[in-house]
Structure 1
Amino acid sequence: MNATPTQQKTALLPMIICCALFFILGYITWANGALIPFVRLAFNLGTDLQAFFILFASYIAYFFLALPSSWILAKVGFKTGIVLSLVLIVVGALIILPAASQLSYGLFLTAIFVQASGMALLQTAINPYLSIIGPIESAAQRISIVGIFNKTAGIIVPFVLGSILLKDYDRISTKIKDLQTGAEHDALLVELSERIHSPYIGMAIGVAILAVIVYVVKMPEVDVNKEEVVEEQVGVKKKSSIFQYPHLFLGSLAIFFCVAVEVMAGDIIGTYGQLLSLPPFFVKYGTAFTLSCMLLGYFIGIATIPRFISQQAALRVCTLVGIAFTCISVFSSGLTSYFFVAFLGMANALMWPAIFPLGIKGLGRFTKVGSGIMIMGIAGGAIWPLVYGYLKDTLGVDFQHAFLYAMIPAYLYLLYFASYGHKVGQEQKAN
């Protein structure tokens, strides 16, 4: 008589823990939006392009750590992999403290990279887990549910960090510019940089507590190898190499551009608002506006996928809406332009939930490695802001037109993947 409750608890527990982990991922990831104006001021950086290296350090770790993460998971399993990832996040948070005190931008970027390495391991573990614990057709729905927690954290973090790190931003910025380089100037920079201590100490404590909880709690392991047997039963020819799945690599590139447009809309919006000469409120909390729109998009996904629309169709609609909103933003001004950048959050929301299960569909025993290859695509968040910054700061392209040149090619590739790319190499399936 106890069998049913146990099964229900086992089904619910991984989902609850995954929601908590995605909250942590969202909080750390979307802290970048507040960190960009903060590091430019605190570390006395000359251009937005230099400040955008925060995003580079945060997202490039996924490219280098994703495949090693899949190997780690194969050795230690899902649960231990999560604990290791959380430990890395704690270490990164603690390295930030001396980096800020010493005004060492290089060490600060190193700390961000260490944190991102932990997040790469965490992402590589969680996404296939969510895709496999239920029907692949509804994987986008499950990823949308945890995405709500991810984006809720992203909405909260600009208010938490913005109120601490960017307090009196305009006054301090003016004062630093007016001061000559010297003891008083350096003391003000140190005082400003040390604002980061309390939020990151709190982050380290919170993540450490979650690591202990994950270590103690029993969580079921998912055996992705059994998926290979399912493939053979439905008539799919058994494959011997990961390179026999071209849709996986096309999916990884789709993740690249998906994260690129997410970061452009979510992390660059503060800089965009500043260049539009909007009040400081919009500069501080731009990420929160974008992620609020993403949150709305997740609710739409939960309600409609796969009941009313397929993952592929949702992805096509989102890319077309993204193109339209980008064009409106670029060819308008003021708050209209700003809010259409924020509205891109709604267009971008369903992209990751749709792309990831399409990319790993049918991989069977290659699912863990395939997940690592998909996660490598997160490097789009590292590269695309630098492309935008280069166009704007080095080539002298108007900031709105630079935004257009960065966004449209990304959306066009996503439209290709949604329409054709996800089907490449899967023609052997029996009908």
Structure 2
Amino acid sequence: MANISNPADTAVIDESQLKGKNLTLPFILVISLFFLWGMAHNLDSVLIPHLKKACNLNNVQSSYIDMAVFFAYFVMAIPAGMMLKKFGYKNSIIIGLVLFACGAFLFVPAANTLTYGLFICGLFILGCGLATLETAANPYAAILGDPAKSTFRLNLAASFNGLAAMVAPYIGKTFILSGKEYTKDQLAAMPAATKASYFMQEASAVKMPYIVLACILIAVAILFFFSYLPEIKNVSKEETTGGKFFGALRHRHLSWSVVAQFFYVGAQVCVTSFFIREAKQGAGLDEKSAADYLILYGFLFTVGRFVGTFFLRFIASHKLLSLYAVISILLSLVAIFGSGLYVVYCLGAIGFFMSIMFPTIFGLGIDGIGDDTKPGSSWLVMSIVGGAILPFIMARIIDANNDHVQSGYVIPLICFVVVLYFGMSGYKIKKQLA
């Protein structure tokens, strides 16, 4: 059985466009997108505890950051899929980059006015850009070249998404986190002017990183505009629905991959969003030291992507996915019931074993679905809404348990159980659903 998506059964590059063309530059450009949206997601891991402090929020309120970004995926997935079918991969990517940049630029007025709602608005627009990029770039990376190497290519591109998981926390620690923290009693005792100045300084720290990110995004969009990217044509070996959105779900394995992706993304966002809080509470670290361990998480996530990409050359992707899910379940149990610094190390190790899950679930989901590849991609991107819903539930659990962060990690545990089922059974291509 094929490890992952076989584009020979789905879509291929139009060979008439390839005479005298080299696909190396297009693939490098696509890889840059994986890195850039990885930066956005992993900066959220720093942004959540930082804005919790700067805007004086509780856990549930701080979870609105994840909710804004990942709810945008849900809202934008269908329009992004329609855009992809109408305008093609290149133009959709450019539109996604521009939306991404607009959301990042909105951080400036949000910080200047210390308006949490404006931060949320900026994050939602940013998320719409990310949804558009992922709808286009994930299948494009899988299809852009030799069909037999689609698994390797998709995981290689995703490895640079993992690289961002290491770079973003370092940038967050260096340019966003101040290391200044006050208890509720200390804040209450502060003069009003001093407290207002403190909150404003903390909020303003996010401006420069997001301005730089937005400028880079505009530059990359210009580069895409002037670069050659071959378009894709669908060549199906089986009867298809003609790429109808709901018709795509007749593929049982695609339906299960949507469920698995919902829970996987929820697990990843839960682990990273509360990582710094857990490191501070469970191991007694200050926020900058906690950020160092988040960098370690990013390092292990990055290494896991490259190691996983290597293993996928020899091990069936569903088998490796199942093995990694089992290990993640065990590590989650330690994170829930353990104590001390090694709990933080376990959370870092989860990063290693989560690293291949998204691209592997994505590839298994679009395996052999013919003209349904584009709407199938939209469904898989829409499933990223798990990153909005599950962290909110986790935050509710934590607040209900007197701010006990460890108790909330039961949510990632449940998520990995679902991923395990998909790797053992749900991935199988069976007779299509009626």
- TM-score normalised to structure 2 length: 0.89
- TM-score normalised to structure 1 length: 0.90
CA change 1:173–1:199 in 2 (3 A) is: farther
Instruction: Name the SS for the 1:124 alignment partner.
Output: helix
Aligned to 2:327: 321
| 1:157 pairs with one of 159, 163, 168 | 168
* AA aligned opposite 1:343: A
> After alignment, is 240-249 or 313-322 more displaced?
240-249
Check whether the contact 1:103–1:193 (CA below 8 A) recurs between aligned residues.
yes
Check if 1:10 corresponds to 2:22: yes
1:81 positional shift: 0.6
| Cα shift readout 1:62-85 (whole Å, capped 9, x = no counterpart) | 111111100011111111111111
Check whether the contact 1:270–1:285 (CA below 8 A) recurs between aligned residues.
no
Check whether the contact 1:36–1:52 (CA below 8 A) recurs between aligned residues.
yes
| 1:283 pairs with one of 283, 290, 304 | 290
> After alignment, is 141-150 or 340-349 more displaced?
141-150
* AA aligned opposite 1:43: C
Aligned to 1:205: 215
Check whether the contact 1:23–1:153 (CA below 8 A) recurs between aligned residues.
yes
CA change 1:136–1:380 in 2 (3 A) is: farther
* AA aligned opposite 1:415: L
Structure 1 distance, partners of 2:184, 2:109, is 23
Structure 1 distance, partners of 2:425, 2:147, is 19
Unaligned runs of 5+ in 2: 1-14
CA change 1:427–1:88 in 2 (3 A) is: closer
1:370 positional shift: 0.8
* AA aligned opposite 1:198: M
Check whether the contact 2:102–2:125 (CA below 8 A) recurs between aligned residues.
yes
| 1:193 pairs with one of 203, 206, 209 | 203
Aligned to 1:103: 114
> After alignment, is 378-387 or 417-426 more displaced?
417-426
* AA aligned opposite 1:41: K
Structure 1 distance, partners of 2:264, 2:418, is 10
1:134 positional shift: 4.2
1:7 positional shift: 6.1
* AA aligned opposite 1:40: K
Aligned to 1:214: 224
> After alignment, is 287-296 or 237-246 more displaced?
237-246
* AA aligned opposite 1:67: I
Question: Where do residues 33-52 of structure 1 align in structure 2 (5 Å cutoff)?
Answer: 33-45=45-57, 47-52=58-63
Check whether the contact 2:240–2:372 (CA below 8 A) recurs between aligned residues.
no
* AA aligned opposite 1:156: V
> After alignment, is 20-29 or 149-158 more displaced?
149-158
Unaligned runs of 5+ in 1: none
Structure 1 distance, partners of 2:20, 2:318, is 31
Structure 1 distance, partners of 2:272, 2:75, is 23
1:96 positional shift: 1.1
Bigger RCO (CA 8 Å, 6+ sep): 2
Structure 2 distance, partners of 1:219, 1:173, is 54
CA change 1:345–1:161 in 2 (3 A) is: same
CA change 1:337–1:136 in 2 (3 A) is: farther
> After alignment, is 114-123 or 86-95 more displaced?
86-95
Instruction: Name the SS for the 1:309 alignment partner.
Output: coil
User: Alignment identity in percent?
Assistant: 28
1:187 positional shift: 2.4
CA change 1:276–1:9 in 2 (3 A) is: farther
* AA aligned opposite 1:264: C
Check if 1:143 corresponds to 2:149: no
| Cα shift readout 1:133-163 (whole Å, capped 9, x = no counterpart) | 2456643322221222212122111111222
Structure 1 distance, partners of 2:164, 2:310, is 21
Question: Where do residues 214-363 of structure 1 align in structure 2 (5 Å cutoff)?
Answer: 214-223=224-233, 225-226=234-235, 228=236, 231-232=237-238, 237-239=239-241, 241-280=247-286, 281-305=288-312, 307-363=313-369
Instruction: Name the SS for the 1:217 alignment partner.
Output: coil
Aligned to 2:136: 125
CA change 1:275–1:7 in 2 (3 A) is: farther
Structure 1 distance, partners of 2:278, 2:154, is 29
* AA aligned opposite 1:276: G
Instruction: Name the SS for the 2:106 alignment partner.
Output: helix
Structure 2 distance, partners of 1:48, 1:62, is 22
CA change 1:173–1:86 in 2 (3 A) is: farther
Check whether the contact 1:247–1:424 (CA below 8 A) recurs between aligned residues.
yes
Check whether the contact 1:141–1:301 (CA below 8 A) recurs between aligned residues.
no
1:173 positional shift: 8.6
Check whether the contact 2:155–2:360 (CA below 8 A) recurs between aligned residues.
no
* AA aligned opposite 1:383: I
Q: How many residues are aligned here?
A: 412
**What's the C-alpha RMSD, in Å, of the aligned pairs?**
2.2
1:32 positional shift: 0.4
Check if 1:69 corresponds to 2:69: no
* AA aligned opposite 2:301: M
Check whether the contact 2:264–2:419 (CA below 8 A) recurs between aligned residues.
yes
Aligned to 2:426: 421
